[in-house]
């Protein structure tokens, strides 16, 4: 039994989604970021954290990749070119989509008010829009970023798309990229994860 520490309203939802994709048993301890309970398992107070026996794994992407590797699904094996290409997609999701979303959130409601900047918000949107163009080019006509099979970066990209539309209120341009995100986010495991989030 895996124990997921972190409210599903945070990036813990990625781990819920992966656990649902893999059909695994898990329990959720819905602790808030920076709470005493979060700081007890991660000195930064960030969530999610996955407890596996007596060990803790910090970071949503590290956790999702670990689960994929351990259960032999939604990933290519380590040491292969395909795995390096898959990891490159994961880094693209974090560098080009998540960083814009996170810095925008910080400048919208997280940082102390006197440190927030509307110019920074505009810069984040600019970077995100540019990333949508890059994604369209790199994706081409593929079903998922690595081809026919859903892998870890599709989950991270799909999560970022929901964050963009529902959190930042940024529009995804109509066309292949929006179709791709709809394909990823309509997977039954994603739908179940979002239903789970509603319970918290």
The CA angle 151-7-188, to the nearest 5 degrees, is 40
Q: Does 96 contact ligand GSH by CB under 6 A?
A: no
Binding-residue total with ligand GSH (CB under 6 A) = 11
* Closer of 11 and 185 to ligand GSH (Cβ): 11
**Angle of helix 12-22 relative to helix 152-162, nearest 10 degrees?**
130
Six-digit token string for 26? 């898990």
Q: Minimal CB distance to ligand GSH: which residue?
A: 33
Q: How far is the CB of 61 from ligand GSH (least distance, A)?
A: 5
Looking only at residues 10 through 69 of this chain, which bind ligand GSH when binding is defined by CB under 6 A?
A: 10-11, 33-34, 45-48, 59-61
Of the candidates 53, 78, 55, 52, the residue with the CA atom closest to the CA atom of residue 65: 78
DSSP helix/strand/coil, 144: strand
**Least Å from the CB of residue 67 to ligand GSH:** 14
Estimate to the nearest angstrom the gap between the alpha carbon of 30 and the chain centroid: 17
As measured in angstroms, the least distance from the Cβ of 195 to ligand GSH is 19
Residue 148 CB neighbour total at 10 angstroms? 7
Residues that bind ligand GSH (CB under 6 A): 10-11, 33-34, 45-48, 59-61
């Amino acid at each position: 039994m895996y124990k997921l520490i972190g409210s599903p309203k945070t990036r813990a939802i990625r781990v819920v989604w992966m656990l649902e994709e893999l059909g695994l048993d898990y329990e959720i301890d819905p602790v808030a970021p920076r709470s005493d309970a979060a700081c007890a398992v991660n000195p930064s107070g960030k969530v999610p954290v996955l407890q596996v026996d007596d060990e803790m794994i910090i970071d949503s992407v590290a956790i999702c990749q670990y689960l994929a590797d351990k259960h032999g699904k939604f990933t290519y094996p380590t040491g292969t070119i395909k795995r390096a290409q898959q990891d490159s997609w994961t880094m693209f999701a974090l560098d080009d989509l998540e960083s814009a979303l996170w810095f925008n959130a910080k400048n919208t409601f997280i940082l102390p008010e006197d440190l927030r900047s509307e110019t920074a918000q505009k810069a984040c949107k600019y970077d995100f829009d540019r990333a949508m163009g890059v994604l369209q080019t790199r994706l081409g006509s593929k079903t998922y970023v690595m081809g026919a099979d859903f892998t870890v970066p599709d989950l991270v990209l799909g999560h970022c798309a929901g964050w963009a539309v529902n959190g930042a209120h940024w529009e995804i341009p109509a066309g292949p990229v929006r179709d791709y995100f709809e394909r990823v986010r309509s997977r039954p495991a994603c739908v179940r994860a979002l239903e789970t989030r509603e319970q918290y």
